[in-house]
Amino acid sequence: MYLSYHNFSTLASKCCEILTDCLQDDLFPPFFQLLLLFAVPLCYTEFISIWFIRKSKYYPGGKIRPYSREVKYMKVSFIGMGNMGYAIARGLLESGALKGEELFAYDPNPAKVDLLVQDFQAGKLDRLSEVADSDLIFVAVKPYVVEQVLRELGDALAEKAVVCIALGWRFEELNAVLPSSTRHLSVMPNTPMQVGEGMCIFEERNTLTASEHAAVRQLFASIGEVEILPTRLMSSAGTVTGCGPAFVYMVIEALADAAVYHGVTRADAYHLVAQTVLGAGKMVLETGLHPGQLKDNVCSPGGTTIRGVAKLEELGLRSALIEAIREIEGTNRPDR
């Protein structure tokens, strides 16, 4: 469940008022009065401290994504700080899943590594070889660079746990390059993990130990949702979730442009449309209804929405999105 800070604060304040009245009326023996005088402020202070430590877990609507830190100290290193690697690393730090002293990163262009160092006191690695001194290694470089990086590290990865987020690098590809004793998992994440609302797909076939797999899943669950799929579905599912945000941003931009065309300010237009998309997604997830049914629920007979839907069908919105995925899948190779 999500916990609202506002609701907790209101409840705590009310409890304090009631207890104060009881103390003033001498309804408790002196011993219990003394206990209450110490216990109430301590409980309230503890909650406030947790709130500020995890202030980054604040979500729209005053909600905090729950995170249970069951994983003991773990040294995690990232190879590559591109958009995806940075989104995951920052999301893990923002969520509290990892502390700054537990996360290290290497990139020949260290600009984004420096941001993590500045904002979270994360560790900066000066040489690629330094990642070998880690419990868990994320390979977050471009697909065409993966083989070069893994071969350069060579036996330094023996007996290590490796998670690869590069497109097209599945179990067989990793198995062919990594030392035989290296344990590995292929995942397909997406950039909304930076704000704790990502979608990550795990390849079902992997060689991580049960405890390593659970730890990695817990890390990703702190910044989004996790699904485990067979190898044959990794490409198509990963394309939808990985590329999908870009398509949704285009829809948001287009709807906002339409609002601006009719007089709405740009800032208001983006806010209105983004919240509409967020709400529509939650409706699909939380109601369990088919998207077509939810669409029909908005379309009154002869109304404005169905007229807009007819125009979108006429102009090929549905087929355009389907063809976009087909185009990507036709060229989905590690060298792309």
d(CA 245, CA 191): 8
Architecture of domain 243-330: Orthogonal Bundle (1.10)
d(CA 75, CA 302): 60
d(CA 94, CA 233): 30
Residues of the chain with CATH 3.40.50.720: 76-229
Q: Given this model, what pLDDT does residue 335 score?
A: 44
Question: Taken in order 125, 129, 130, 134, is the CA torsion positive or negative?
Answer: positive
Q: Given this model, what pLDDT does residue 266 score?
A: 98
The Cβ of residue 176 has, within 10 Å, a number of other Cβ atoms equal to 9
d(CA 45, CA 108): 43
DSSP code at position 158: T
- C-alpha distance across the termini of the chain, in Å: 41
Q: What stretches in the chain show pLDDT beneath 50?
A: 1-12, 40, 42-69, 333-336
Q: Given this model, what pLDDT does residue 21 score?
A: 60
Structure tokens at 196: 């704790």
Q: Given this model, what pLDDT does residue 34 score?
A: 57
**Each residue's pLDDT tens digit, 100-157:** 999 999 999 999 999 999 999 999 999 999 999 999 999 999 999 999 999 999 999 9
Structure tokens at 297: 């629920």
Q: Given this model, what pLDDT does residue 135 score?
A: 92
Q: Given this model, what pLDDT does residue 16 score?
A: 53
Q: Are 174 and 184 in contact (CB under 8 A)?
A: yes
Residues of the chain with CATH 1.10.3730.10: 243-330
**Each residue's pLDDT tens digit, 293-318:** 999 999 999 999 999 999 999 999 99
Domain 76-229 indexed as CATH 3.30.1490.20: no
pTM value is 0.76
